[in-house]
């Protein structure tokens, strides 16, 4: 025996459950959610559903007030029995907007039938196919990157899930062509209190260096030793570990160096960070932007930690950033390079051998 099941198709996870018209299908007694989704999938053309939509991507809710979808093996006997209380079928939609490498709009927000569980690289493939005959003609999906929003602060890893982002036309994900060259302005902080803190560190650093030459010299000689005996597989560096206030930052100013060096934060300082850090906001932000473009989070941790892995065999924006700094500075200056006046650095991604420090 067949009975009518009333339902409403709703596009996207954030659209109101009242969106759209109530429809009806005659279904045999005893059907469950999985059976219902298969029937909808078979009628996707008449229901105007995306051709590539998988039945498992549909989420069926008992009604407009239900917070979670029904399990696939749940019987529909007591659901969708009238037009006043229809089943809600959410059709997955991820919204995106295409921008050029210069961040100018190339399209209005559009959507593709993907779910929150889909990988970012699946979204890139879908966007490339969406615009392959116009905006992205001749451009591969691998040449695209995805940002969480138009503030361009969160670059999504290709291997990561889309998650709850891009769930409405008003908050689309930003898909853009990866830049071939980055222009970033770097300049010293103009806040007077922060500059005074920098000067205090510099003066104290000079005192320590002059009064503890032997101690500082031993550390610098050790650094030189590591560089001279570099086996080519490991990138030499010094890691200083300690609690806040133990003098890690002061050590950098005290050592000076036998070669030029730069100071920036490897991670965001956040609210409540040391006043000194404010002098290096722009260069720190530039570095973090490059790290996001290289997408280390999409790689296995052991690959990122091993500088002989294939991750470091390709062009990296981070290395391009280092090269731009080295090309800009005076290599005869054995002290910290500061950007007292704003300067615009432009660089391409580069390979490691071009960025020997």
Where b means 16+ CB within 10 Å and e means fewer, 54-67 reads ebebbbbbbeeeee
What pLDDT is recorded for position 323?
81
Q: Whole-model pTM?
A: 0.51
What pLDDT is recorded for position 330?
63
Cβ(296)–Cβ(304) below 8 Å: yes
Could you state, in order of their start, the residue ranges of all structural domains in the chain? 2-91, 94-178, 184-354
Angle between helices 213-228 and 248-255 (to 10 degrees): 90
Question: What CATH code is assigned to 94-178?
Answer: 3.10.20.90
pLDDT digits (tens, 9 = 90+) for 148-178: 998 887 888 888 889 888 988 899 999 988 7
- For 134, residues 6+ apart whose C-beta sits below 8 A from its C-beta are none
Taking 50 as the pLDDT cut, the residues of the chain under it are 271, 354-357
Pairwise CA distance, residues 249 & 267, whole Å: 14
What pLDDT is recorded for position 218?
86
Cβ(258)–Cβ(180) below 8 Å: no
Pairwise CA distance, residues 127 & 166, whole Å: 13
Pairwise CA distance, residues 355 & 17, whole Å: 55
What pLDDT is recorded for position 82?
95
What pLDDT is recorded for position 305?
81
What pLDDT is recorded for position 322?
83
Backbone angles phi, psi at 344, to 5 degrees: -105, 120
The greatest distance separating any two alpha carbons of the chain, rounded to the nearest whole angstrom, comes to 95
pLDDT digits (tens, 9 = 90+) for 186-243: 766 667 788 888 888 888 888 988 888 888 888 888 877 877 776 655 555 667 777 7
Pairwise CA distance, residues 350 & 348, whole Å: 6
Domains 2-91 and 94-178 alike in fold: yes
- Cβ-based neighbour number of residue 183 at 10 Å: 9
* Fold annotation for 2-91: Ubiquitin-like (UB roll) (3.10.20)
């Amino acid at each position: 025996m067949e009975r009518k099941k009333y339902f409403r198709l709703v596009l996207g996870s954030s659209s109101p459950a009242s969106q759209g018209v109530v429809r009806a299908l005659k279904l045999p007694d005893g059907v469950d959610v999985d059976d219902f989704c298969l029937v909808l999938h078979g009628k996707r053309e008449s229901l105007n559903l995306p051709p590539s939509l998988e039945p498992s991507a549909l989420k069926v809710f008992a009604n407009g007030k239900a917070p979670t979808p029904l399990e696939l093996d749940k019987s529909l006997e007591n659901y969708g029995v009238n037009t006043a209380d229809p089943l809600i079928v959410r059709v997955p939609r991820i919204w995106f907007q295409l921008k050029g490498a210069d961040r100018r709009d190339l399209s209005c927000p559009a959507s593709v039938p993907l779910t929150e569980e889909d990988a970012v690289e699946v979204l890139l493939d879908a966007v490339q196919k969406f615009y392959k005959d116009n905006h992205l003609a001749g451009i591969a999906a691998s040449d695209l990157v995805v940002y969480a929003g138009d503030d361009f602060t969160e670059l999504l890893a290709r291997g990561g899930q889309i998650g709850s982002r891009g769930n409405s036309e008003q908050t689309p994900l930003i898909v853009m062509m990866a830049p071939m060259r980055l222009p970033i302005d770097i300049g010293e902080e103009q806040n007077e209190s922060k500059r005074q803190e920098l000067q205090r560190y510099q003066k104290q650093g000079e005192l320590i260096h002059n009064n503890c030459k032997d101690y500082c010299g031993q550390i610098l000689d050790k650094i030189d030793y590591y560089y001279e005996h570099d086996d080519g597989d490991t990138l030499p560096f010094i890691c200083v570990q300690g609690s806040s206030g133990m003098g890690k930052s002061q050590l950098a100013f005290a050592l000076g160096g036998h070669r030029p060096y730069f100071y920036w934060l490897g991670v965001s300082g956040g609210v409540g960070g040391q006043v000194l850090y404010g002098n290096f906001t722009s260069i720190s932000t530039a570095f973090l932007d490059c790290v996001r473009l290289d997408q280390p989070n999409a790689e296995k941790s052991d690959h990122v930690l091993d500088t002989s892995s294939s991750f470091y065999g390709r062009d990296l924006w981070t290395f391009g950033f280092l090269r731009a700094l080295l090309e800009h500075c005076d290599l005869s200056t054995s002290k910290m390079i500061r950007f007292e006046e704003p300067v615009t650095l432009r660089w391409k991604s580069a390979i490691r051998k071009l960025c020997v420090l």
